[in-house]
């Protein structure tokens, strides 16, 4: 992190500020190893010289699409660049060949449509704006050219957007390796529909994320020598099993329980299902509904996904 730059009176710097992490300002006085900074937010800050970072006064107004282009590669510089881009709805930024995604918490439809997929197909890495499709494209092409498996690692804290990012990667790989639908369901459709099934049984509302995956997963998509998807396997790790019998407000149990209680009436009658509030494992929390989510619709979507994935009706029952 330490970018060795001589900080003097008049230098523009970043200083730590507990409320907002970092503020920028100008050094107005230096006393030994301490500096007084006139911050842009109007405050006067006193900080150790060693805790100040130089601010790039010639940084591009819209930020840079690759962190390696920053003059100073330190925490405030990186955060400032991500924030600048985020303001412009540019949620993706490279750091070399790593992609950083900042959760937009809104649907950015134009980023993921078929036109976008066409654009990224075969485009040299770095030529177009940073995008999750570009990462998938590189992995796919490397696999074809080198004839070897490739992995994409998606990591981040809870709610960062790993699940959504993984789905987009899978969607793009399905687009690259898909074949025209001939009879009914295709392998790539099955690959994609594995997600709603896994989410119904392994995702739940937590304090941090309404659709938090309570397990890890390794998704393997297999391709034939022509680059067409031939199969897939999903391995799951460490499901948070305690959630089944222990939940606290305002979290929920696994989605599947609420979906079951929102099944069509004939199924509710058949399986003697009642309102989720009547069940001990569900009524330990006061949260039953998710804003913007219809459990009834999700129930039908999950059943449909199970059909496509190939889970027989008997198994589903």
Q: Provide CB contacts within 8 A for 27, sequence distance 6+.
A: 7, 8, 9, 10, 11, 12, 13, 35, 36, 37, 52
Minimum separation from the CB atom of position 94 to ligand ATP (A): 16
Minimum separation from the CB atom of position 164 to ligand ATP (A): 4
By beta-carbon distance, which residue lies closest to ligand ATP?
Answer: 161
231 binds ligand ATP (CB under 6 A): no
Question: 173-187 burial by CB neighbour count: b if 16+ within 10 A, else e?
Answer: bbbbbbeeeeeeebb
Minimum separation from the CB atom of position 212 to ligand ATP (A): 3
Q: Provide CB contacts within 8 A for 49, sequence distance 6+.
A: 7, 30, 33, 34, 35
36 binds ligand ATP (CB under 6 A): no
Q: Is 312 annotated as a binding residue?
A: no
Work out which of 212, 243, 258, 309 binds ligand ATP, going by CB under 6 A: 212
Q: Is 183 annotated as a binding residue?
A: no
Q: Give the C-alpha separation, 53 to 79, whole Å.
A: 13
Minimum separation from the CB atom of position 80 to ligand ATP (A): 21
Candidate segments 39-47, 102-110, 242-250, 287-295, binder of ligand ATP by CB under 6 A: 102-110
Phi/psi at 306 (5° precision): -65, -40
211 binds ligand ATP (CB under 6 A): yes
Sign of torsion, CA 193 198 201 206?
A: negative
71 binds ligand ATP (CB under 6 A): no
**Residues in the annotated binding site for ATP:** 156-163
Residues that bind ligand ATP (CB under 6 A): 103-105, 107-108, 156, 158-164, 209, 211-213
């Amino acid at each position: 992190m330490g970018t060795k730059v001589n900080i003097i009176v008049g230098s523009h710097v970043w200083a730590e500020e507990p409320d907002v992490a970092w503020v920028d300002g100008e050094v107005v006085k230096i006393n030994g190893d301490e500096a007084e900074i006139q911050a842009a937010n109007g405050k006067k800050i006193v900080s150790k010289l060693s805790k100040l970072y130089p601010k790039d006064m010639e940084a591009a107004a819209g930020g840079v699409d690759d962190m390696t282009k920053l003059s100073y590669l330190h925490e405030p510089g990186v955060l400032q660049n991500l924030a600048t881009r985020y303001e412009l709805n540019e949620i993706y930024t490279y750091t070399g060949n790593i992609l950083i995604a900042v959760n937009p918490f809104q649907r950015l439809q134009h980023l993921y449509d078929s036109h976008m997929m066409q654009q990224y197909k075969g485009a040299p890495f770095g030529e177009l704006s940073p995008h999750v499709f570009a990462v998938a494209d590189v992995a796919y092409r490397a696999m074809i050219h080198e004839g070897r498996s490739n992995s994409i690692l998606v990591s981040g804290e809870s709610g960062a957007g790993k699940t959504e990012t993984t789905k987009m990667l899978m969607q793009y790989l399905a687009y690259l390796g898909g074949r025209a639908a001939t009879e009914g369901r295709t392998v790539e459709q099955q690959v994609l529909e594995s997600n709603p099934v896994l989410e119904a049984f392994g995702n739940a509302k937590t304090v941090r994320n309404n659709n938090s995956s309570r397990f890890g997963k390794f998704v393997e998509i297999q391709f034939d020598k022509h680059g067409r998807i031939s199969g897939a396997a999903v391995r799951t790790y460490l499901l948070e099993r305690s959630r089944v019998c222990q939940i606290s407000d305002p979290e929920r149990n696994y989605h599947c329980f609420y979906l079951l209680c929102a099944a069509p009436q004939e199924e509710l009658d058949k399986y003697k299902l009642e309102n989720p509030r009547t069940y001990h494992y569900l009524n330990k929390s006061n949260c039953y509904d998710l804003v913007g989510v219809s459990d009834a619709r999700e129930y039908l979507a999950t059943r449909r996904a199970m059909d496509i994935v190939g889970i027989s009706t008997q198994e589903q029952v």
